[in-house]
Structure 1
């Protein structure tokens, strides 16, 4: 049986493909008003109407049934059961196809491909998909979809270094989740995005309050959401200089969260732990290296090149702090040579390490000038926390350079 609204969408697609107006298609055997109601889904087609329209279009009646198995629906069904790069490409191709598409199916397709692009570190392409996904979610009027779209957009914009818009998206997601009484998972996901952006923007008081709300919300769990909440709360405390408290939170996740639950997150927790030990004064390089090696050993099971580049860059930083400058340069050049797709913050980290190596290698003026450029760029992007880190490192580098030069006459 031909059901609405699938019949109407397929009918309109067949008509527009042939360049026919509604009046031309209706002809003498049907009113234009009735045809319009069929296309909108407001009327169920009769057998006589189907026979007339098929004759007018020059197609068999079965052509209208193709709507139930359109290319996007087929691609999504295959992707749901396989989930490979090839299926994601097929869904992306179907999204660009002609004709009307079910809005809910299109939202699902955009979500799937955006997630795929994110895993590949292709944040600019992810951004384009998410902007359409958010608009579509608003049109559908479903709070769950709107909140989830805004949450993912906030994460993506933060990765691109667009901190102001990321904050707006994160706040919108949190507001939608709270005002519409969405499940804990949606509220927590919006908070994860919002806290990360607030931290990046240097709004540490707000970030700490929201991080505390997040950990209270997920207390008693041991799943991915719980581990991400502890990681995020630890990141805020690191920015506040409360490294002992941050280490305590991370330790809970490191000890109790299983790689079987989510191997990707298990690896990222170890990267976060390594960075924490690097940040201590003095840096605890042995422990940082242990966590980095654990993360690296698991990369073979996590097919995400961007994460591999991040771990290599981390090892380069550990080598630099340990005085192994040649090793640091080799590792850094390996990441750069791989055309790494990194987030804005990670790209700046790479440039900062390169600048510090330039100073060690005798190109002091070039290295210091590059640090100033990076700090000003981060400040202009409203990435206040990152800018503060760069200015601090620059001040330390200047002090070391002046100390090495000795007193001036």
Structure 2
């Protein structure tokens, strides 16, 4: 049945319950023939007429429009608010349960926007719990429905991000380019710049440096024109990553520090913590002499992330980067604690980060004198990387594994890893 059919049926049902004829309901403002056409679904009443009929029938407007009473609508909105609050507070399992329970409410069936809001919330909670495949399934299903332009961009951001984090880079790029890659690109907004930043990171992971540099400059220009904190943070942080990948360390730090400064003044706690961790990780790589400051920054980020809706991937990434800092600082035991905590939280399909974690475990064991375990952990990197498609990121991790194996005296393993690094780089 169409929406008009359902509205007409509800009006007819309530009219009969009230013991009214069509003429009695219509008089004096409407004609009984018009009421008849509405009840049969042949006319769609205007909002003003619907409000009038609701008053005459002594029922809520929400019931005529959606099939739920005002009280039921309030209960649904309250339940959805509690689920969102649980997610924002980092209570991921609680949020998943609340979103899933709400979706079993039959009253939600006819409330398209609220039902989509609930499914979107479930997708984010599922992503935060580390079940990236299920998050992809929910987001893909939602993208197949008719929705608002704003929601379409939100779904694209989330799906592009989850595909990227699952190392499914081709799909991540396709999602982003469906909206941003056409000849008639929409006018830049905060949401579109955030989508562009997510797409840019997929370009980087894939090794498309030329496209990444061009797109980074375009996003910076767009963010400067908009002048909003959200757009500036997204554009500056990704420009920092591109600059660091190109070997421009000073420029990378300048962009990253600007992003953190703007985020500190305007950002949500989760995004601020993620940015703090990202800057600490960048500092470890480009200014190893400042590893102590970077470690303190990332320890603070761990505490902050634990109080938010950060995904298990975010938390695992923070621990892995902390381990990198501890190794540079000569604290292999602390590094091992951090990286093992990260491994426990790491989703199984986040393979590139899993490989980096194994390498850090290997280096920590080596520094502690556990050479056999160090070799075993270095060789385990192959299990993480082997299923991945060739990419710049995979090439870098294979190369790091080869260097580690070589230092441990595992010549055969090092040769194989160097060969895989070359193959990933297209050489």
TM-score by length of 2: 0.71
**Equivalent residue number for residue 395 of structure 2:** 388
1:268 to 2:274 alignment? yes
Deviates more, 1:76-85 or 1:212-221: 76-85
1:327 to 2:362 alignment? no
**Equivalent residue number for residue 80 of structure 2:** 79
1:189 to 2:181 alignment? no
Alpha-carbon distance, 1:189 to partner: 2.2
**Equivalent residue number for residue 67 of structure 2:** 67
Match of 2:380 among 362, 370, 376: 370
**1:10-409 → structure 2 map (5 Å cutoff):** 65=64, 67-69=67-69, 74-76=75-77, 78-80=79-81, 83-85=84-86, 89-98=97-106, 100-136=109-145, 139-140=146-147, 142-175=148-181, 179=184, 181-182=186-187, 184-219=189-224, 221=227, 223-258=229-264, 261-280=267-286, 282=288, 284-299=290-305, 301-302=307-308, 304=310, 306=312, 307-337=314-344, 339-341=345-347, 344=350, 345-357=352-364, 359=366, 361-363=370-372, 364-378=374-388, 380=389, 382=390, 384-402=391-409
Q: Is the 8 A contact 1:320 1:328 kept in 2?
A: yes
Q: Is the 8 A contact 1:8 1:40 kept in 2?
A: yes
Q: Is the 8 A contact 1:319 1:327 kept in 2?
A: yes
Q: Give a deviation string over 1:360-407, Cα, whole Å, max 9, x none.
A: 5212542342233333333x2x5x132122122123213323499xxx
Give the distance between the partners of 2:187 and 2:366, measured in 1 at CA. Answer: 52
Alpha-carbon distance, 1:81 to partner: 7.5
Alpha-carbon distance, 1:273 to partner: 1.4
Q: Is the 8 A contact 1:371 1:394 kept in 2?
A: yes
Alpha-carbon distance, 1:231 to partner: 0.9
Give the distance between the partners of 1:117 and 1:317, measured in 2 at CA. Answer: 28
**Equivalent residue number for residue 33 of structure 2:** none
Deviates more, 1:156-165 or 1:122-131: 122-131
TM-score by length of 1: 0.74
Give the distance between the partners of 1:303 and 1:62, measured in 2 at CA. Answer: 36
Give the distance between the partners of 1:284 and 1:308, measured in 2 at CA. Answer: 22
Alpha-carbon distance, 1:36 to partner: 12
Q: Is the 8 A contact 2:62 2:69 kept in 1?
A: no
Equivalenced residues, count: 365
**Equivalent residue number for residue 27 of structure 1:** none
Q: Give a deviation string over 1:221-248, Cα, whole Å, max 9, x none.
A: 3513311221111112222222221111
**Change in 2 beyond 3 A, CA 1:215/1:61:** closer
Deviates more, 1:266-275 or 1:326-335: 326-335
Give the distance between the partners of 1:184 and 1:204, measured in 2 at CA. Answer: 24
Structure 1 spans left out of the alignment, 5+ residues: 12-34, 51-59, 405-409
